[in-house]
Structure 1
Amino acid sequence: MTSHRTDSTLPRLILGSSSVYRKELLSRLGLPFETMAPDIDETPQPGETPEATALRLAREKAAAIAARVGPALVIGSDQVATLDGLQIGKPGNHANALKQLQLMRGREVIFHTALCLWDGRQADAAAAAQACNVQTVVRFRALEDAELDAYLRIEQPYDCAGSAKNEGLGIAILESIRSDDPTALTGLPLIALTGMLRRAGAAFFAAGRPTQ
């Protein structure tokens, strides 16, 4: 991916994800970046909390790509949705998505969106990684099956944990969203990420930098 804005102090920037949603979010920052698929096992470990799963996977995604590319900044992110402490994954198809929405209607679902920025310029792994988890609480509307089915057929959010695209028509089946970062629910918390990038040396508003 290319951008008209440049930053000579910033190393190569890589988004460790094949998600079109994360790619769109990162493009808002106007920094040139590449995308790579991390290709890791995303199975939760026995006894692992949802927050711990999300943080571990975000870190493993970033570390896996950093090991391949050397001195670059690598972004890893992972999201785990939970209802009553149980993880809710990507539905994959219409039938599973409808079951998810039926289970969640009228109830609150917690989305854990973990982020890791891995600085490949650092020799020490402990110093290389900045990580955090941004929690979003979503209440779903208590809608009838016919409405839920109609929504799914229109938007087909089968690659989204929770079976709804809040950035699209899915907002109509939500009653409320509570979070410190409005971009976290879509999959990449930009408020946290811009803070991490600043600490890594990014200058978003450098004097003389063209904006377009």
Structure 2
Amino acid sequence: MSSQLVLASTSVYRQALLQKLALPFEACNPDIDETPNSNESAKELVLRLAKAKAKAGAKNFPQGLIIGSDQVAVIDGKIIGKPLNRDNAIKQLSMASGKSITFYTGLALYNANTNAMCADVEAFTVHFRVLTATQITAYVDKEQPFYCAGSFKSEGLGIALFDRLEGRDPNTLIGLPLILLTEMLLSQGVDVLS
């Protein structure tokens, strides 16, 4: 691989996902303003932020292939973010009980050397079981998903909250759609299987 691969994210979850591709990479903090624009849809928001993160990462890696990613969850047409505390996590999971949440993950791959940008949005839907208040509280206390959009960790005990999952790539739910990333890398001359 001639270009350095860089993940513009400090997320340990995204870093762990990228390690699955067995490519050497560095991680950096993109340090961008993630405030939504007025009347911006969930898909528009994550696409804009993924591109902005990739471009921000290029400041320190001018010859790199920079990966930017951003994710939001949508329930009943409303964007929900990370709960940040126990009460908000319980509230989010109570809202989700018996319903479906769609996660939109924006992914961008920026070739800082050629100025080429690949970007797209991948959707993934989680269908929740009907949950009791006791189940929700027990889950939140055990896993403390305070920094996860939607208030769960699907790679952990959170899987017990679901009736079914729907989408092309389960990695999307954790925040980095690897199938799409593999396609984007190939378009930039990086074949993860060679």
Q: Do Structure 1 and Structure 2 share a fold, with TM-score over 0.5?
A: yes
Query: Which 4+ residue blocks in structure 1 deviate beyond 6 angstroms?
Result: none
The answer on 1:162 being equivalent to 2:150 is yes
Question: Partners in 1 of 2:33 and 2:147 — Cα distance?
Answer: 17
The answer on 1:51 being equivalent to 2:51 is no
Which residue is 1:205 aligned to?
193
Letter of the structure 1 residue corresponding to residue 189 of structure 2: G
Q: Please give the root-mean-square deviation of Cα atoms over the aligned residues, in Å.
A: 0.9
Letter of the structure 2 residue corresponding to residue 162 of structure 1: G
Unaligned runs of 5+ in 1: 1-8, 207-212
State the Cα distance separating 1:68 from its structure 2 match.
3.0
1:20 pairs with one of 12, 15, 34: 12
The two structures have a TM-score, normalised by structure 1, of 0.89
Which residue is 1:174 aligned to?
162
State the Cα distance separating 1:176 from its structure 2 match.
1.1
State the Cα distance separating 1:203 from its structure 2 match.
2.6
Question: Partners in 2 of 1:65 and 1:156 — Cα distance?
Answer: 30
Question: Partners in 2 of 1:67 and 1:35 — Cα distance?
Answer: 13
Alignment of 1:92-171 (within 5 A): 92-123=84-115, 128-171=116-159
Question: Partners in 2 of 1:47 and 1:16 — Cα distance?
Answer: 26
Which residue is 1:31 aligned to?
23
Which residue is 1:209 aligned to?
none
The answer on 1:88 being equivalent to 2:76 is no
Unaligned runs of 5+ in 2: none
Letter of the structure 1 residue corresponding to residue 60 of structure 2: R
Specify the structure having the higher radius of gyration (Cα): 1
Secondary structure of 1:67's partner? coil
The two structures have a TM-score, normalised by structure 2, of 0.97
State the Cα distance separating 1:181 from its structure 2 match.
1.1
Q: Percent identity?
A: 46
Which residue is 1:193 aligned to?
181
The answer on 1:79 being equivalent to 2:67 is no
